[in-house]
Amino acid sequence: MVMLSEKTDWKNVKGVLGNPGEFMNRLLTYDVETVSERIWKKARDGWISKPNFEPAEVKKVSLAASALCTWAVACSRYQLVVKKVAPKKKKLAEVTTILNEAQAELQIKLDMVQAVKDKVAQLEADCQKM
């Protein structure tokens, strides 16, 4: 519930789980990248990092809870990867912009060179006619 920004008291949990269609939709459309670092810290410190929050351990009690445990652990790991990759993606976007500008400038220069070559060819042809 913490990862969904919901209160963790039993009444609220029952309310969220009481609408399985909406709950599944929230899980399926969960955007790991938009969840605040505060929520991730709370989820990791409070549950995910605990030894008894392993899917195999949870499965002994509940198969459904084991699936949610697996989902939470996977989301947590993915968020850590996204956090490391984000600066690299930003740098890639910057470098790609620079590359595109350089390629555009190169194409302009290549077009100019081709125009000169065409002019030289025309002049050579004119000279051959003389």
Cα–Cα dist 55/71, whole Å: 9
Hey, where are the domains in the chain? 31-129
pLDDT tens digits, one per residue of 5-44: 778 788 888 888 888 899 899 899 999 999 999 999 999 9
pLDDT digits (tens, 9 = 90+) for 101-128: 999 999 999 999 999 999 999 999 999 9
Q: Is 28 helix (H, G, I), strand (E, B) or coil?
A: helix
Phi, then psi, of 105 in degrees rounded to 5: -65, -40
What are the tens digits of pLDDT across the range 60-71? Answer: 999 999 999 999
- State both tokens at 109: 């220069």
CA distance linking residue 115 with residue 104, whole number of Å: 17
CA 63 to CA 59: how far, in whole Å?
A: 5
Query: What CATH architecture applies to the domain 31-129?
Result: Up-down Bundle (1.20)
Instruction: Supply 47's token pair.
Output: 């549950």
